[in-house]
């Protein structure tokens, strides 16, 4: 035990002996203990208030994100419909477009595709740029590598379009990536 610790113990013993014979010292000790307890309670109350504030902020942020991306599942489901419409329109030949009856039918399909595009735009669903872009593993999924004179890692073909909703990925673009020719 160090000299300071010995002195502290001796002072504490003298104070206790003195407190027994002097009620004002005992009263002072009681007041000091109550003040310590009040400070501790204040500290705990401040900590609890800060924790409550943090929980409230976190819940508000989660609610905002849930509201903002509530339609993500529905939008993801609608992508398959968009794919089918795009494939159907791409498969139509020029001679079928020249036929009057088929042209009216195609006009309805094209109007449906335009309306679907407008709904995507209103809900911040955007197509991910692919061809000519460098491969971004956060937005593109490389399906194959193809020999090309393009820079290796550059997307040269898109097999399926990818889409984002605001800053969240709905579906990665399925792409072919350039590699050095053999």
Band of pLDDT at residue 25, cut at 50, 70 and 90: low
The partner residues of 146 in beta bridges, in order of sequence, read: 178
Q: What DSSP string runs through 131-172? A: TTSBP-TTTEEEEEEEE-SSPTTBEEEEEE--EEETTEEEEP
Q: Would you tell me how many other CB atoms lie within 10 Å of the CB of residue 172?
A: 20
Residue 149 DSSP class: S
3-state secondary structure of 166: coil
Domain 72-179 fold is Nucleotide Exchange Factor Grpe; Chain A, domain 2 (2.30.22)
Residue 25 CA to residue 16 CA, distance in Å, equals: 9
- Dihedral, CA of residue 84, residue 90, residue 93 and residue 94, to nearest 10: 130
User: pTM score > 0.75 for this model?
Assistant: no
Q: What is the DSSP letter of 10?
A: H
The structure tokens 């109007």 sit at 111
The yes-or-no verdict on residue 98 having pLDDT over 80 is yes
Distance CA 94, CA 122 (A): 32
Q: Exposed, middle or buried: residue 177 (CB in 10 Å: 0-12, 13-18, 19+)? A: buried
Ramachandran class of 166: left when φ > 0, alpha when ψ lies in -120 to 50, beta otherwise: left
- 104-149, pLDDT tens digit by residue? 989 999 999 999 999 999 989 999 999 999 999 999 999 999 999 9
> In this predicted structure, what is the pLDDT of residue 179?
92
Residue with tokens 């991910």: 128
Q: Tell the residue number behind the tokens 């088929």, with chain if given.
A: 102
């Amino acid at each position: 035990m160090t000299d300071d610790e010995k002195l502290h113990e001796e002072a504490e013993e003298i104070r206790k002996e003195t407190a027994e014979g002097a009620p004002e010292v005992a009263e002072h000790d009681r007041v000091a203990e109550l003040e310590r307890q009040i400070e501790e309670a204040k500290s705990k109350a401040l900590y609890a208030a800060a924790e409550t504030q943090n929980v409230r902020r976190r819940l508000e942020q989660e609610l905002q994100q849930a509201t903002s991306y509530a339609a993500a599942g529905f939008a993801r489901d609608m992508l398959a419909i968009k794919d089918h419409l795009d494939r159907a329109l791409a498969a139509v030949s020029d001679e079928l477009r020249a036929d009057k009856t088929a042209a009216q039918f195609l006009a309805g399909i094209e109007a449906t595709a335009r309306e679907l595009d407008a709904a995507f735009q209103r809900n911040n669903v955007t197509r991910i740029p692919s061809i000519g872009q460098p491969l971004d593993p956060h937005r593109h999924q490389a399906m194959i590598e193809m020999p090309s004179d393009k820079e290796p890692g550059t997307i040269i073909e898109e097999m399926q379009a990818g889409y984002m909703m605001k800053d969240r990925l709905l579906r990665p673009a399925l792409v072919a990536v350039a590699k050095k020719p053999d």
